Amino acid sequence: MPVGKIGQLFGDLYCAQLSSAINEGTILNSTERAYRRLDQSEQAIRTALQASPLMHVDESGLHYAGRLDWPHGASNHALTYYFVYAKRGCDALKSLASLLPAYQGHLVHDCLPGYFSFTTG
């Protein structure tokens, strides 16, 4: 979400004066603090999904800053994990951000050929 829209959102939700009171630096600093604090949560989600007996995976194109990136999602009945990668295929699926290299359960996917390179042990 663009920084200006975040300020506008706070103004819409709380009071009109707040949208102009929240400056870009405050929003960026808050975002950075939240990102750092969520690291343990992200690791717990990754661990739980990798232990899940069934996981759904999918990817979708997203145009951002004049380029096409690929958000890759992995989920089960309770959790969802996303990472963004510049490519859609095997490079992304085997990257460090992906859950698939260590996953041993059953995958539900859209038959992207790269998914077939993963087998359970």
Q: What is the pLDDT of residues 79-93, one digit of tens each?
A: 999 999 998 889 999
Amino acid at 19: S
User: Could you tell me how far CA 88 lies from the centroid of its own chain?
Assistant: 14
User: Could you tell me how far CA 64 lies from the centroid of its own chain?
Assistant: 15
What residue spans of the chain are helical by DSSP H? 3-13, 16-21, 24-37, 39-51, 90-93
Contact between residue 68 and residue 57 where contact means Cβ atoms under 8 Å apart:
no
Mind listing the pLDDT tens digit for each residue in 17-71? 665 667 788 889 988 999 899 999 999 999 999 999 999 999 999 998 889 999 9
Indicate the DSSP class of residue 114: G
